[in-house]
Amino acid sequence: MVFKLAATKLLGFDEDHVSELRENYKFVKKAFLSFPLNIPGTPLHAALQGREKAKKMIKCAFDERRLSKENNQDFIGHLLKEVDDKETILTEEIAADIVYLLLFAAFETTSTTITLSLKFLNDHPKVLEQLKVINETVRLADNAPGIFRKVMQDVNIKGKFKKSSCSASMDK
């Protein structure tokens, strides 16, 4: 849902283009925890191919935007104006990377957290009444490598004393 919104707003993609673009991002997600071997048949190879296909779609959207006679004052319009400026260091390749990364952020982090929040709330409706939903979602389905938590009471963990109200890093 978030990815569809981002792809539609950033690139003006219709449903079919959004689905095709989403498929390319799925390969990247699968490659995160795989062995970094770039040969055909490996997740990394598929991810690199998916990335190139996605960037090709983004560059096609850039070309379509340039050919249109509309004066677009949105993000892509300003980005392309900067790319076309002779005095800038921003290239079309860098601009495509920027859009690719913005869409990746919408694909992985936000959508995953929101989806899991809704699943957990659906499975346990009383959670909403009893817990702070955001903290519980992050605790149960954290997709970040580490996170800081506020220590609620003085505690001694493996010989390290933590005072209440200080922060503690929780690593996976």
Q: What is the pLDDT of residue 50?
A: 92
Same domain, 134 and 150: no
Q: Into how many domains does the chain fold?
A: 2
The Cα–Cα gap between 79 and 73 comes to 10
Same domain, 50 and 24: yes
Q: Which two three-digit tokens encode residue 149?
A: 């938590």
Q: If 0-12 CB within 10 Å is exposed, 13-18 middle and 19+ buried, where does residue 103 land? A: buried
Same domain, 45 and 129: yes
Same domain, 152 and 108: no
pTM of the model: 0.59
Residue 150: CB atoms within 10 Å? 10
Q: What is the pLDDT of residue 127?
A: 64
Q: What is the pLDDT of residue 135?
A: 59
Same domain, 37 and 108: yes
Q: What is the pLDDT of residue 159?
A: 83
Same domain, 49 and 83: yes
Q: List, for residues 91-133, the tens digit of each pLDDT value.
A: 999 999 999 988 887 776 666 666 666 676 677 777 666 556 5
State the CATH number of the domain containing residue 111. Answer: 1.10.630.10
Range of the domain at 14: 2-141
Same domain, 90 and 161: no
Q: What residue ranges of the chain have pLDDT lower than 50?
A: none
Same domain, 131 and 153: no
